[in-house]
Amino acid sequence: MEARRYAVAADHPDASQAGAEILAQGGNAVDAAVATSFALAVVRPESCGLGGGGFMLIHRPGAAPVALDYREQAPAGTQIDLYRDANGKLDPTRIQRGGLSVGIPGTVCGLLHAFDHYGSGRITRAQVLAPAMRLANRPLAVDGHLAESISDFIDACAKQPELQRRHRDLYASLVDENGKARTLVDRSDIAITLEAISDHGPDGFYKGPVAKSILRTIKEDGGVLTAADLASYRVREVRPIERTCFDHAILAMPPPSSGGAVIIEAMNVLQAIGLDKLRAAHAIESGAVTEAPSGVNARFGDYSHYLIEALKPAFADRANLLGDACPAVAADVARMIDPARGRVIANQIDVDHAAPWTRYNDGAMTGDDGGTSHLSVVDADGMAVACTESVNLEFGSRMLVPDTGIILNDTMDDFALDTTKPNAFGLRQSERNIVRAGSRPLSSMSPTIVLKDGDVRLVVGASGGPRIITSTLQVMLNVIVSDERVDNAVAVPRLHHQWLPDEVRVQPGFSHRLRRSLEHRGHVIESRKDIGHVQAIERLADGTLRAACDPGKGGRPAVE
C-alpha cells in the first residue's frame, strides 16, 4: 500500500487506523505509535497490552535517535526458590503461567513516557487514548489469529481441566456457556482502565483502584509482585545500537533486547561474503535469473545456506553472552557486532556443508508464535517509530484482572531457571539471564530502523518469539540487499534457525527444490506454519511510502 504523507503498519487494521487518525489530527509518529499501541491492547489481547512491556525505537530527523526500554522487570521479592516444587526441583510451569510468571508491566509507563517526551505537543493524552476507548466500547470481532489463540487455550483447558478453574475470568471472557469460542468478545472493562490512564497518567495504572486489582489477582495466584514494585517502575532511555551494513545505517535495540546484536552480527557475516555474491544467489533462488553473472560464484541454494550459517553463531552468542544491560554484556555486544568478527565467521563457512552446532557450543566468541505485536510508523516529516510489545506467550500468564480488561504478562519465563534446559521457545540461555530480582529478562523483540544517507529507508519488526529476529532480518535483506518491494519482501516464505535445536524451520511455501538443496548440504529441515509476523514501512528516494502487514496475522496498513 503506497502513500505520500504518512503510514502506519500494525497487525490489526483497527490499530493501524487509530495511529492514522492521530496523524491526521496533526500528531507526529510517536503520538501515532502510542495511539496504535493502546488500540492493540484492546484488539490483540492474545499478543500484547497494558499488562505487558516492550521496546520503542525513535528516529528524529536532525536529532539523535532514541531507544526506550519498558521491558517487564522481576519483582523485588523474586528468588529462584519460588520456582521449586515440593521436592525442591525447579518447576518450569511455575514461571510460565500464573502469578509467579508476572513481571512488573512496563507498557503504560513506556507509552506515556514516549508521548510526554517525544510527542508533538499538539495532541492531548485524551486524544491519543480516544481511538482505543472507542474500540473498547464495542464488541471485538474475533478474527482468524485471535480465534486460533482461543482454540489453543480451549484445548489446553481440555487437557488440564484445572486450568479452566484457575483462569476462569479469562476463560469466561473468551468461551461461551457451551464451551465454544466466542465470535464477539466484550472488551468494555478495559475502557475503564483506559479512562483512568487518560485522567491520571501513569498513576491511573500503577496506583489506585487498577493497581489494587492487579495486586489482588497476582497475590491470589501465589505471586509476589507488590505495590512498591508497581510504584517504582521506570522507563530506561538507552542508546540504540548503530552500525553500518551494506551501505545502510542500522538502528537497533541493545539488551535486554537480543535482536539488535544478533541481526547485526549475522549481517556482518553476510556482508563479508560479498554483496554481489549474495544478490546473485538470491536472484537464482527467487527465479529472477538462472545463473550468476560472469565472474560471480553463486549457485542455487547458496543464499539460504549462507543465511543459516550466519544465524548459527549469532544465536549461539545470544545464548551464551546476553542478558540484562550491564557493562559486561555491553562489552560482549561490541565484540559480537564488530565487522572483523563477521569476517572471521564468514571465512569458516563451507558452502557445501552445514556446520555442526557443536562448532559454537561455547558461543561463537570461542570457537513458538508467542504473545507479541509490532507496529511501524513514518510521518510526513520523516520521523519514524519501530515499536515491539509483548505479554510473552499467548494471553501471557492467562490471568485476566477482573473489571480492568488487563491480561497480565508471563515474561518471567524469558529468564533462565536452568541454564542446561531450553525455555518455552526452545532457547537456551546463560547465567547472565538467570532469574533475579530487579532484572529485565532477555528478549527477542527486534524493532529496527534502517537509514540511507540519513533518511528513513525501512522501519521493520515482527512478532513470533525467537522467529522475530530471523523474520526481521530476512525482510531487511530482501529490501536493502535484493531491492525487493517491501510488500513482496514481507510476503515471501521465510526460514528460521536459532542454533539449538539444530534444525531449519521453513514455511510451507518453501520450494521442494530448495529444501532438497539444503538437505544435501546436511541441514535438517522441518516445516512450520508461521515464521514470525512482520509489519514494515519502506520509504523510497522520492519520499513515497510503502507499507506492508504480514498476511499471516490479518493486519492492514493505514496510509495517506
Lowest mean pLDDT among 148-157, 233-242, 255-264, 426-435: 426-435
User: Distance between CA atoms of 290 and 285, rounded to whole angstroms?
Assistant: 9
pLDDT(548) > 50: yes
Q: What is the pLDDT of residue 429?
A: 77
Euclidean distance between CA atoms 467 and 358, whole angstroms: 21
* pLDDT band per the 50, 70, 90 thresholds, residue 365: very low
Band the pLDDT of 368: cuts 50, 70, 90. very low
Q: For residue range 234-247, what is the model confidence (pLDDT) as tens digits?
A: 999 999 999 999 99
DSSP-based three-state secondary structure for 33: helix
Residue 364 has pLDDT above 70, yes or no: no
Each residue's pLDDT tens digit, 165-189: 999 999 999 999 999 999 999 999 9
Active site residues: 372
Q: Sheet holding 545-549: strands in order across?
A: 2-3, 545-549, 533-539, 455-463, 448-452, 248-252, 241-245
Question: Partners of 9 in the beta sheet?
Answer: 376
The H-or-E segment that residue 375 falls in is strand 371-378
161 cis-preceded (ω within 30 degrees of 0)? no
Question: What's the mean pLDDT when you consider all of the chain?
Answer: 96
User: Has residue 428 got a pLDDT over 90?
Assistant: no
Residue 392 gets the label, from left (phi > 0), alpha (psi -120 to 50) or beta, of left
Could you give the CA distance from residue 164 to residue 176 in angstroms, rounded to a whole number? Answer: 13
In tens, the pLDDT along 429-456 reads 789 999 999 999 999 999 999 999 999 9
Whether residue 424 is predicted with pLDDT greater than 90 in this model: the reply is: no
Q: Each residue of 90-120: pLDDT tens digit?
A: 999 999 999 999 999 999 999 999 999 999 9
**Does domain 241-370+446-539 match CATH 1.10.287.70?**
no
Find cell 518450569 and name the residue. Answer: 92
Return all residues near 483 (Cβ < 8 A) that are at least 6 apart.
none
Rg (CA), the chain: 22
Neighbours of 366 (CB within 10 A): 9
Q: Model pTM? A: 0.96
Q: Residue 547 phi/psi, 5° resolution? A: -115, 145
Q: In the prediction, which pLDDT does 367 show?
A: 33
Angle between helix axes 467-480 and 275-286 (nearest 10 degrees) is 100
pLDDT digits 0-9 by tens, 475-527: 999 999 999 999 999 999 999 999 999 999 999 999 999 999 999 999 999 99
Interval 358-370 mean pLDDT:
59
Q: What is the C-alpha separation between 442 and 61, in angstroms, rounded?
A: 30
Q: What is the pLDDT of residue 465?
A: 93
Say whether pLDDT at 307 is over 80.
yes
The model's confidence at residue 255, banded by pLDDT at 50, 70 and 90, is: very high
Is residue 463 within 8 Å of 531, Cβ to Cβ? no
User: What ranges in 160-220 are assigned the alpha helix state H?
Assistant: 162-166, 168-174, 188-200, 203-206, 208-220
Spans of all domains in the chain: 2-238+371-415, 241-370+446-539
